[in-house]
Amino acid sequence: MYRKWEKNPDKYGKELLLKNAPFETIYKHKGNTEFLLISKKHKLRIRIECKWQQMTGSVDEKLPYLYLNTIEAMPEKDIMILIDGDGFKAGAKTWLRNAVKEKLYTNDSNNDTNVMVFSLSEFFTWANNTFQ
């Protein structure tokens, strides 16, 4: 857990996958991300958000809010969004991928944020290539 590690980081080493990494949202509220990957060996510090929509619901309507948080509020330069499931509304995943590709709503102060969007299979490919 991030909060446990934060109190004594030297106790845990340099290759970490921390759960419940906090940040302050665009609404100035406390938010948490599923994971924060820190690897000294691979020179990585990546915040990881996971969105799964198996059946129709409201997760896809939260994608613009998630995207704005990635470019405006999350402190890491590298942010990964894992998005999968067949329950998203038509166009939702495409909108997110296009927003990331086009760097929608970015400006000079947040344009260096590197947001990546992966399905689970794309994530496995990325992980296999990154951690060979």
pLDDT at 111: 85
Domain boundaries, the chain: 54-84+97-127
Look-up of token digits 């980081």: 9
Residue 58 has pLDDT above 90, yes or no: no
The predicted model scores a pTM of 0.93
Average of pLDDT values for 11-19? Answer: 96
pLDDT at 115: 97
Residue 39 has pLDDT above 90, yes or no: yes
Average of pLDDT values for 34-59? Answer: 93
The predicted-structure confidence for 66-100, as pLDDT tens digits, reads as follows 999 999 999 999 999 999 999 999 999 999 999 99
- What's 12-70 look like in SS3? CCCEEEEEEEEEECCCCCEEEEEEEEEECCCCEEEEEEEEECCCCCCHHHHHHHHHHHH
